[in-house]
Each structure stands twice: as C-alpha cells, then as structure tokens.
Amino acid sequence: MTKPLLKLGGGLLIALSLAFVIHTTLMPDALWGQIRIMWLCYGFNFGLAVLIFWAVLATHKKNAMLVGVVFMGGSMFKFGLFFLLIYPDFKADGLVGRDELTLFFVPYLISLFSMTYAASRVLQRA
C-alpha cells in the first residue's frame, strides 16, 4: 500500500510543481495579489489527493465494493472544503473571474487525473 502511495505523492508533487511554475509564468499581473491563495490551492489539492488515494487503497483492502463511494465522497469532501475555505477569498473583491478560478481548478484537475490514473493502475493489478 505504501509503494503506490509514494508513487502518487512523488509524481503528483512533480506534476503540481511544474504546473505551478507554468501557471505563475502565464498568470496575469492582476492576479499576483492572490499568490497566497494560489499556494493554498496547490497545497490543498496535493494534500487531499494523497489523503483520498490513501483512503481508496485502505478501502480496497477491506471492501472493494466501497472504493467508488470513497473516491466520490472524497471528491465531494474536497469541493465542500473549497467552498468553505477558499471560495470566500475569491469572492472578497466581489467578482469571481475565470482567471481566479484557474487558481483552484488547474491543480484540482491535475490531482484528479493523477489520482484516477494511479487508482486504476492499482485496482487493475488486484
């Protein structure tokens, strides 16, 4: 269980780091005031992706029938935390633009695809 978790964590860290560099390079000047939120979004998505993947692996060992429920529940949990913790910072200026939402959804999609790929690889072998 630890080897797939370490592989996901390492690969995700590399992918998100590369995406962060590209994202900050392409980011409009108007968003530089929200770089703290961007760091939070990338860290938030990394941490929760690893946690959800660990829960999927643990669930698979105990009851493989619940893996989908845990995966979807983890995604709902991630969105719930986003709307509670991060979204209010986006709405603080009264506008939530497309550029602001990319601060969360770029790392979210990278984490989601990485986690889905890693889970499918592990579950196919079992």
The residues spanned by each domain of the chain are 2-125
Tokens of 80: 């719930």
Confidence at residue 17, expressed as pLDDT on a 0 to 100 scale:
97
Tens-place pLDDT, residues 16-57: 999 999 999 988 887 788 888 899 999 999 999 999 999 999
Tokens of 43: 């860290």
Confidence at residue 126, expressed as pLDDT on a 0 to 100 scale:
64
Tokens of 6: 């370490």
- Pick the more confident residue, 112 or 64: 112
pLDDT beyond 70 at 1: no
pLDDT beyond 90 at 122: no
Instruction: Calculate mean pLDDT across residues 57-75.
Output: 91
| Contact between 53 and 119 (Cβ < 8 Å) | yes
Of 83, 9, 21, 101, nearest to 53 (Cα)? 9
Tokens of 94: 């009264």
pLDDT beyond 80 at 60: yes
